[in-house]
């Protein structure tokens, strides 16, 4: 079978011919139907050893939908089509016991699917246990694949704030794979004042289509927009899907008293938290990671109900690098998805 293998940090992945893996124990072999390409893959390819602790070689691809075609002897009855929950947590640590497997304390050297372990940018992939599978029934695999990270991460980032969204003024920074799904999820919860920020005009057009009430080309422009809205106090919630020095550096000017900054993007910026300084006005800052399996079940249900839908561009497996280059150049509308 073919697999896009990351052989070393700082080098592009290569398409290699490797044996189809044989499932043992609890493992499930999936025939990959679709795999989404995430900006995090670019960080994994580029990553300096310290910044990205997951040692190659491994197969990329952490947004995967596929069909179960074989199982190990301890996997039980597994058949049908599944979305892969890519955080291959231990299932028994104190975080896992509380259903917070995205913060599993045992995951230190790898996260799982395509992040330190072989993922689904390939014809087939092994999932370590049926625990990490969520049934998807029928439906277009290309539309389903981005649910497993882009939508799941956005959902998990928004979740703690859901009850406070009705009267809230919300800013979404970065209308790419994650951001365009976050806008839909926010719009779906009834958020009425939604400012989307992206330097790309096409991304701002997409944001407006998906429910943004205002668009801005930079964090600075968003601050100017906020000054004109609802008394000019700023935003209650800032979801930063970029996390660069310019976006995080603008946080204190974007937030209203009592507001929350949720940092999702790993764009190399940092945010200083200092009492008496930037946090004097009841702000909270969080940096959530991916989402739980239970979140993914909810996201799949939202998608089946037509309440969230990934905008996608489709590529053949052999063309994955072309798609990654488009992603790096900021040319992808929504999510690029590979179909083996």
- Interface with ligand NAD (CB under 6 A): 38-40, 43, 149, 153, 173-179, 197-200, 203, 241-244, 246-247, 264-267, 289-290, 327, 330, 332
CB of 293 to Zn ion, least distance (A): 12
In this complex, which beta carbon is closest to ligand NAD, that of residue 3 or of residue 216?
216
Binding mask 58-97 for Zn ion (x = CB under 5 A): -------------------------------xx--x--x-
**Residue 82 or 155: which CB sits closer to ligand NAD?**
155
Looking at the Cβ atoms of 188 and 246, the one nearer to ligand NAD is 246
The residues, ordered by sequence, that sit 6+ positions from 228 with a Cβ below 8 Å of its Cβ are: none
Residue 221 contacts Zn ion per CB under 5 A: no
Our CB check for ligand NAD shows the closer of 219 and 300 to be 219
28 binding partner (options Zn ion, ligand NAD, none; Cβ < 5 to 8 Å by kind) = none
* Residue 175's binding partner out of ligand NAD, Zn ion, none, with CB under 5 to 8 Å set by partner kind: ligand NAD
**Cis check: omega of the bond before 34, within 30 degrees of 0:** no
Site string for Zn ion, 99-128 (x = CB under 5 A): -----x-x----------------------
CB of 103 to Zn ion, least distance (A): 8
CA distances from 243 to 57, 165, 238 (A): 27, 22, 11
State the residue number with the nearest CB to ligand NAD. 176
Residues that bind Zn ion (CB under 5 A): 89-90, 93, 96, 104, 106
């Amino acid at each position: 079978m073919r697999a896009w293998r990351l052989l070393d940090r700082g080098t592009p992945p290569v398409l290699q011919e490797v044996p189809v893996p044989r499932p043992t124990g609890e493992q499930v072999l999936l025939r990959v139907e679709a795999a989404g390409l995430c900006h995090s893959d670019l960080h994994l390819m580029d990553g300096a050893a310290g910044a990205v602790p997951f040692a190659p070689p491994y197969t990329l691809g952490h947004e995967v939908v596929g069909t179960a075609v074989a199982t190990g002897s301890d996997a039980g009855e597994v058949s049908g089509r599944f979305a892969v929950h890519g955080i291959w947590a231990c299932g028994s640590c104190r975080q896992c016991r509380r259903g917070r497997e995205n913060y599993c304390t045992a995951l230190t050297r790898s996260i799982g699917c395509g992040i330190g372990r072989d993922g689904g940018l390939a014809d087939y992939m092994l999932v370590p246990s049926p625990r990490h599978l969520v049934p998807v029934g029928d439906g277009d695999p290309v539309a389903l694949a981005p649910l497993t990270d882009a939508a799941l991460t956005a959902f998990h980032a928004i979740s703690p704030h859901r009850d406070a969204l009705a009267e809230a003024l919300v800013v979404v920074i970065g209308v790419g794979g994650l951001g365009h799904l976050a806008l839909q999820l926010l719009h779906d919860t009834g958020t009425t004042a939604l400012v989307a920020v992206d330097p790309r005009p096409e991304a701002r057009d997409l944001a407006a289509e998906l429910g943004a009430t205002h668009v801005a080309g930079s964090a600075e422009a968003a601050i100017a927009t906020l000054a004109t809205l609802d008394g000019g106090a700023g935003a209650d919630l800032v979801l930063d899907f970029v996390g660069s020095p310019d976006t995080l550096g603008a946080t204190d000017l974007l937030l209203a008293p009592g507001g929350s900054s949720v940092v999702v993007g790993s764009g190399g910026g940092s945010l200083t938290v200092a009492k008496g300084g930037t946090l004097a006005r009841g702000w909270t800052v969080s940096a959530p990671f991916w989402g739980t399996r239970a979140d993914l079940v909810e996201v799949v249900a939202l998608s089946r109900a037509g309440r969230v839908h990934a905008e996608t561009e489709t590529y053949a497996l052999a063309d994955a690098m072309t798609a990654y280059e488009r992603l790096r150049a900021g040319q992808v509308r929504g999510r690029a998805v590979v179909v083996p």
